[in-house]
């Protein structure tokens, strides 16, 4: 469900507050389905959300997550790319894109995504863990260990703050 530039501009202009509210309801339904392990239903709900308001970044990101859980990594990448087109500083979308690329054994590209997520949020523990795994897969053991230590240090600090 990718848009051309003209179609995108037209879609954005036509989105009403009611459409955005309905899109948010579908997004929440999708999240509920996803959390219950009903990934196909979640995907349908995210598509409905996007149909009401194609500018909701979390619908695109969560759509990508559902597709990844279903093993549809190429489709997931398209959803993450759309989320990142809407918000280039969405650290979770960068991290999720990296995870999809890692699942496809495209570790160098995955590492670039994790690095971008960490540029946006240096305290993103999951991105540090994922960076460690990508580096290990690339045979960069020393750097992988350093990233893992950073992740564990941040995780420990976060626990102390709770």
**Mean pLDDT per 10-residue segment, the chain (162 residues):** 54 68 96 98 98 95 98 98 98 98 98 98 98 98 98 93 84
Q: How far is CA 31 from the centre of its chain?
A: 13
Per-domain residue ranges for the chain?
5-88
Give the pLDDT of residue 82. Answer: 98
Give the pLDDT of residue 162. Answer: 79
Cα R_g (the chain), whole angstroms: 17
Give the pLDDT of residue 19. Answer: 82
Give the pLDDT of residue 10. Answer: 52
Give the pLDDT of residue 152. Answer: 96
Give the pLDDT of residue 18. Answer: 79
The domain 5-88 having CATH identifier 3.40.50.1010: the answer here is no
């Amino acid at each position: 469900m990718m848009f051309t530039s003209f179609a995108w501009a037209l879609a954005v202009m036509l989105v009403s507050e009611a459409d955005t509210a309905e899109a948010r309801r579908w997004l929440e339904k999708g999240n509920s389905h996803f959390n219950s392990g009903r990934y196909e239903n979640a995907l349908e709900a995210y598509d409905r959300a996007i149909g009401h308001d194609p500018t909701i970044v979390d619908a695109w990101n969560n759509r990508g997550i559902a597709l990844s859980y279903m093993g549809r990594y190429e489709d997931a990448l398209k959803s993450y790319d759309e989320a990142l087109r809407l918000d280039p500083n969405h650290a979770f979308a960068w991290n999720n894109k990296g995870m999809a690329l890692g699942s496809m054994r495209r570790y160098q590209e995955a590492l670039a995504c994790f690095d971008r997520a960490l540029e946006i949020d240096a305290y993103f523990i999951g991105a540090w863990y994922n960076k460690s795994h990508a580096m290990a897969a690339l045979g960069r053991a020393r750097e992988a260990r350093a990233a893992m230590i950073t992740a564990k240090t941040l995780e420990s600090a976060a626990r102390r703050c709770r």
